[in-house]
Structure 1
């Protein structure tokens, strides 16, 4: 059945040195930006589970690269699902994306964040929490901030607020957006890891670790010698991407094909 079909592609290796590895004792699946598409996330999780079973016993580790919310229709449902999975599965972790940052600022009553939240697809997010889109568009920024304080569950806010900005597994660094070239990993700013684009994307030199990131949309996996981008614009393309890693092996699993 096509639902269970895994889409595997060979991966180019760095020109110099041995290929990066997550270690021989684990299997990692990194998932790109979901943006409110619960249907795609559930589809992809099913494909990942089938892939994991087919590859044999190995502790699986699932990493969501952030931007769970905004744009798509089911942000609230996705946050609830990820919270449940994180509580039940020790091998699941989620990173904080720039859209989580905006959502959190607005949900804590920061009126100055509302204009950017609007532009970022916040109307769809609040619709999933019960605010009709027409009301969202008619309300003043201060009214939206007040509505969020009253209606967004505080456990959702607390969960998203506690998400980390980075995760290291073996020779891989997982972040939402990227890192500042030339800056040690331990000195990277949260803002860069959630928001950076051009300086990171155009850098061709080596990083301390192989960086796996989302945030910057490409038609397919953007695999370079120093980074791997897996944001394939799921909310409009229907293609949500996971990168599978085991030892030095890599493969890709996607929805929508």
Structure 2
């Protein structure tokens, strides 16, 4: 059996390969939840560019797994960097539950309390939308300020977000999928929010699932999925997994 090499900046280990592969002459870079850490994102993009310079390949695909905003200090710059990457590198950006809430707030201020529980204040602050001197303003007032401060290019970026993408034998999605349900019948709510029903399932899905959403201390590789959300906003570690043929590496 071909060996899959699992590598990180700290360690490397050989384990039996899973029977999954990328398309021929294709390398996939998958990046976990960013959550406002523009500094880590910029460093990761530089490492991807350097890796491609050292090891050119006919087809390179960058896939960002969602949750670009909230919690960390610079959500605005994260979206700016990703929007540029989407245009220049044809990067694929998936929608996370945090983008969903931000988009929802841009349409409907009544969901502010739900968004605030997940780190909205850091996102608002990155767009220079503050509480001001009057204490907490109304949801309507914050909504107006945010809509005025939110660049049109960022709104266009949000329209480009995808719910999932398949490449070769891999499915990339933010949170996961509901086991045993065909991909074209999956509910958006599950793609963005699912946890236990997916994480605890031994089901062999039709594709090997690469996801984020649920923070782990280190990339969590199972027989049917790989979780690369390493809580960048608090750990300082933004994980980038590289898939090429039957190998997985960590950049």
Correspondent of 1:9 among 12, 17, 20: 12
The equivalences for 1:178-193 within 5 A come to 178-193=176-191
- TM-score, scaled relative to structure 2: 0.91
Q: Which whole-Å CA distance do the structure 2 matches of 1:136 and 1:67 have between them?
A: 30
Residue 102 of structure 1 corresponds to which residue in structure 2?
101
Residue 3 of structure 2 corresponds to which residue in structure 1?
none
CA 1:149–1:230 in structure 2 vs 1: closer, same or farther (change >3 Å)? same
Q: Which whole-Å CA distance do the structure 1 matches of 2:136 and 2:31 have between them?
A: 35
Superposed CA offset, 1:22-65 (max 9, x none): 12221100000000001101111122222233334342111000
Deviation at 1:88, TM superposition (A): 1.3
The gaps in structure 2 that reach 5 residues or longer are 1-7
Deviation at 1:89, TM superposition (A): 1.4
Residue 151 of structure 1 corresponds to which residue in structure 2?
149
Correspondent of 1:221 among 219, 224, 232: 219
Residue 78 of structure 2 corresponds to which residue in structure 1?
78
Helix, strand or coil at the partner of 1:138? coil
Q: Which whole-Å CA distance do the structure 2 matches of 1:135 and 1:146 have between them?
A: 17
Comparing 240-249 with 54-63, which one deviates more in the overlay? 54-63
Q: Which whole-Å CA distance do the structure 1 matches of 2:76 and 2:28 have between them?
A: 26
Correspondent of 1:238 among 232, 236, 247: 236
Residue 140 of structure 2 corresponds to which residue in structure 1?
142
Is the contact made by 1:123 and 1:136 (CA closer than 8 Å) also made in structure 2? Answer: no
Superposed CA offset, 1:153-207 (max 9, x none): 2331232133110000000000000000010011111111111111000101201
Is the contact made by 2:129 and 2:149 (CA closer than 8 Å) also made in structure 1? Answer: no
Residue 42 of structure 2 corresponds to which residue in structure 1?
42
Say if 2:93 is the partner of 1:118.
no
Q: Which whole-Å CA distance do the structure 2 matches of 1:136 and 1:93 have between them?
A: 41
Deviation at 1:7, TM superposition (A): 5.5
Comparing 189-198 with 236-245, which one deviates more in the overlay? 189-198
Is the contact made by 2:169 and 2:208 (CA closer than 8 Å) also made in structure 1? Answer: yes
Helix, strand or coil at the partner of 1:34? coil
Is the contact made by 1:32 and 1:213 (CA closer than 8 Å) also made in structure 2? Answer: yes
Helix, strand or coil at the partner of 2:12? coil
Helix, strand or coil at the partner of 1:77? helix
Deviation at 1:11, TM superposition (A): 6.2
The gaps in structure 1 that reach 5 residues or longer are none
Deviation at 1:112, TM superposition (A): 2.5
Helix, strand or coil at the partner of 1:191? helix
